[in-house]
């Protein structure tokens, strides 16, 4: 099994300066996957992220749409893959190293996904506030906890700009402050 680190971001709101810091951090740390929980805001920012994320090492991005994505960006909903970005209309679900992951923009939908018993991890955005909690989930007769995480916001609106890094070997998350990056 190959263990890896994955960046989880949300709510960029066209702040390409902060997004570039996140992408540069990912390059330095050899992070090759990003999960983005919505609100890039424009197709230009989608292109910026695609063109600047590990372009030489085939980085992969998973993106679900948010409420502040403009009309042009929402037109991408009918395409499954754009450049190195896997696009998901309402929410995404993927498997990473035998762990079931869902990601969505809205916290209420994230909670329903976490409680469904289908996922080990659910990531979301929208509130701009970094947050993590264990949510009790039921599957058949079994009860287990699902980790629900909001990485904060890259834009730096309402709260300081942050994102999370998930170490899939330890299942630990680190909250990174964008202003602390070079």
Q: Which domains does the chain have, with CATH numbers?
A: 5-180 (3.60.21.10)
pLDDT 10s digits, 94-143: 999 999 999 999 999 999 999 999 999 999 999 999 999 999 987 778 88
Alpha-carbon gap, residue 107 to 124, rounded angstroms? 6
**Percentage of residues in the chain with pLDDT exceeding 70?**
92
Neighbour count for residue 134 (Cβ, 10 Å):
11
Going by C-alpha positions, the residue among 137, 86, 87, 85 that lies closest to residue 110 is 137
Alpha-carbon gap, residue 13 to 45, rounded angstroms? 8
State pTM to two decimals. 0.93
Alpha-carbon gap, residue 96 to 165, rounded angstroms? 14
pLDDT 10s digits, 14-39: 999 999 999 999 999 999 999 999 99
Going by C-alpha positions, the residue among 148, 92, 142 that lies closest to residue 117 is 142
Alpha-carbon gap, residue 178 to 161, rounded angstroms? 5
CB 128 within 8 A of CB 158: yes
pLDDT 10s digits, 53-96: 965 557 899 999 989 886 767 666 556 888 888 999 899 999 99
């Amino acid at each position: 099994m190959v263990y890896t680190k994955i960046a989880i971001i949300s709510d960029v709101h066209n702040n390409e300066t902060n997004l570039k810091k996140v992408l540069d951090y990912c390059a330095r740390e050899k992070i090759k996957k990003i999960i983005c929980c919505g609100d890039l805001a424009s197709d230009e920012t989608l292109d910026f992220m695609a063109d600047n994320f590990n372009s030489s090492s085939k980085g992969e991005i998973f993106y679900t749409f948010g409420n502040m994505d403009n009309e042009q960006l929402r037109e991408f909903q009918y395409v499954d893959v754009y450049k190195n970005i896997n696009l998901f209309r309402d929410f995404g679900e993927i498997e990473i190293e035998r762990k079931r992951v869902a990601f969505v923009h809205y916290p209420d939908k994230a909670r329903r996904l976490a409680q469904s018993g289908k996922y080990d991890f659910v990531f979301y955005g929208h509130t701009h506030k970094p947050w993590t909690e264990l949510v009790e989930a039921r599957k058949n007769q079994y009860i287990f906890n699902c980790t629900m995480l909001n990485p904060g916001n890259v834009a730096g609106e309402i709260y300081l700009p942050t994102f999370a890094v998930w170490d899939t070997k330890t299942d630990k998350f680190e909250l990174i402050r964008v202003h602390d990056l070079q």
